[in-house]
Structure 1
Amino acid sequence: MKTMKILLTALLVCSFVQTAQAAGKKSAPKQINASEDIDTLGGNKDLMDMAGRIQSTSRSRIVQERIVDRRNKVEFGLSYGGIMGGDAYLRTQSIGFSMDYHITPRWSIGGRYYDFGSSLTPEGERIKKASEEAKANGGVANPFNVDTPQSAMMAVVNWYPIYGKTSFLDLGVTQFDLYLLAGGGSIELSSGNTDLYTAGLGVGAWMSRHLSIRSEIRYQKYDDMPDRTVARSVDTAAATISIGWIL
């Protein structure tokens, strides 16, 4: 009996040891990283590919879709600006009217009309006064002549290669375009009409489907005739800001 008890006890101890060893060999359950699981959509490759395509399409649509589609649209504008360069004796400003036909969002053609107002600069006032005083005193007066711009009309072509969007004062998203322009026409001077050529760049902000704001700076070239006998070449820069309405 004593021997039997010893055998049973030995069997129970061996069974317990084997069970413990088997349990120890089992690996602990893998820890799941919640954020990683979400980012990889549970490791589902098909879902990951589909999500990537949707995200790329959404980003492309946000960038490329224009708030204001200017295709086959007419835009009218009123502008105010100034002339830099040219005759050193004149200070010239302009009020203008414009019309642009937008063929596509990339191209438009249009017309510009400007009415000029000029005044003498301080140097011009000094030279004019000296000439008048010399003439009144019977001396030899240096001639003082200027050929003031009166008005101008021109046709232009606009190309809009750069487009973007920005937030304007946190009031909403504003669409803008940077554009180049070139054109020509005629300018009326005190001495008569002469050809006018222009080229420049500008930025247009389309505040809503109907309201626009533009800022332009243009190089202008024409010939004037201050002494009414010999023409001279004049190079000027015109800067304008305008507000427009898109039909």
Structure 2
Amino acid sequence: MKTSKIISLLILAAAFSWTNVSFAASNKTANKNLNVTEDIDSLGGNEELMEMAQNIKSETRSRVVQERLVPRRNRVEFGLSYGGVIGGDSYLRTQSAGLSVDYHINPRWSVGARYYDYANNLTSEGQRVFDQAAAAKAAGTQGYAVDIDYPKNAMMAVANWYPIYGKTSFLDMGVTQFDLYLLAGGGQITLSSGTTGLVTAGVGVAAWISKHLSARAEFRYQTYKDNPVTGSRQLDTGVGTLGLGWIL
């Protein structure tokens, strides 16, 4: 009987101890959860963090525009070009070699002067007509004039506007800056019959190989009146050129 009482007291003591340990652990967990909750709740009281969170908008887009590789303000550029003429007199095939100088007022605008020297060859149709006229003359029959008024050279003043520029990777060898530009101008063209007025407008692209050297491709529309034997006529032509520029 005495032994049974001692065993009962030991079991009761063990149960009491386990209850105290569980209660302490529960309090510790509750306190930890309470501290985490308080930390989270305290974020709402931090005005700086709340301001930053409110200013972040998922629909906002950021745009970074880097400066141009080649600064073009109050700078002079010289150029060489070579190209061909599309349209005009169907009897002629005309090519041009050109010199240019441009003064860059700022990165958007420049003004300049162009000079072109023309080389002319007969097309297959022109050669056929010329050969017929020469044969008729040699036979002593009534000949006729070949209706050709070919260009010799031209000079003009132009204004250039550069609305678009960007950068691209060229054959994985490096990054190249390019400019797209529009141009318009006028001047005079010297033909075999004399000198007449010329108006031009076009578009071009310049790719900067270095801070001084650029490669250029340009296409221009130009119109003028020639004066062949049969009378004056309006010629509308296209001129495509490739060239190099050197900016000081």
Equivalent residue for 2:182, pick from 176, 180, 198: 180
**Cα distance in structure 2, aligned partners of 1:17 and 1:230:** 121
Provide the residue aligned with 1:235 in structure 2. 236
The equivalent of 1:102 in structure 2 is 104
Please say if 1:120 is aligned against 2:122: yes
- TM-score normalized with structure 2 length: 0.82
Question: Counterparts of 1:100 and 1:143 in 2: how far apart (Å)?
Answer: 42
Runs of 4+ displaced beyond 6 Å: none
- Counterpart secondary structure, 2:131: helix
2:153 to 151, 154, 158: 151
Q: Deviations over 1:178-228 (max 9, x none)?
A: 00000000000000000000000000112111111111000000000111x
* 2-structure distance, mates of 1:195, 1:64: 42
CA 1:133–1:66 in 2, change beyond 3 Å: closer, same or farther?
same
Aligned ranges 1:197-212 → 2 under 5 Å: 197-212=199-214
Of 160, 174, 194 in structure 1, the residue corresponding to residue 162 of structure 2 is 160
Partner of 2:39: none
Aligned partner of 1:196 among 195, 198, 209? 198
Per the TM alignment, residue 246 of structure 1 is displaced from its structure 2 partner at its CA by 0.5
Deviations 1:114-160 (A, max 9, x none): 00000101110001111121222233334212001000000000000
Offset at residue 5 of structure 1 (A): 3.6
Following the alignment from structure 1 to structure 2, what is the Cα–Cα distance between the partners of residues 45 and 203? 49
Q: d(CA) in 2 for partners of 1:212 and 1:224?
A: 34
Match of 1:83 among 82, 85, 88: 85
- The 2-side partners of 1:217 and 1:22 are apart by 87
Per mean C-alpha deviation after superposition, the further-off stretch among 132-141 and 198-207 is 132-141
SS at match of 2:107: coil
Partner SS state of residue 64, structure 1: coil
Instruction: State the alpha-carbon separation in 2 of the partners of residues 197 and 152 from structure 1.
Output: 11
Instruction: Please identify the structure whose Cα radius of gyration is greater.
Output: 2
Deviates more, 1:202-211 or 1:108-117: 202-211
Q: Aligned equivalents of 1:120 and 1:74: distance in 2?
A: 38
1:38-95 per-position Cα deviation (integer Å, ceiling 9, x unaligned): xxxxxx959x88xx9xxx9x962xx331110011110000110100000000000011
Q: Pick the aligned partner of 2:225 from 217, 223, 226.
A: 223
For residues 228 and 188 of structure 2, the distance between their equivalents in structure 1, rounded to whole angstroms, comes to 17
The CA RMSD over aligned residues, in Å, is: 2.6
Aligned residue identity for 2:198: L
Structure 2 residue aligned with 1:245: 246
The TM-score with structure 1 as length reference comes to 0.82
SS at match of 2:205: strand
Which residue is equivalent to 1:34? none
Farther off after superposition, 161-170 or 66-75:
161-170
Deviation at 1:20, TM superposition (A): 4.2
Q: Counterpart of 2:130 in 1: which secondary structure?
A: helix
Percent of counterpart pairs with the same letter?
57
Unpaired runs of 5+ in structure 2?
Answer: 34-47
Q: Indicate the SS of the match to 2:190.
A: strand
Partner of 2:8: 6
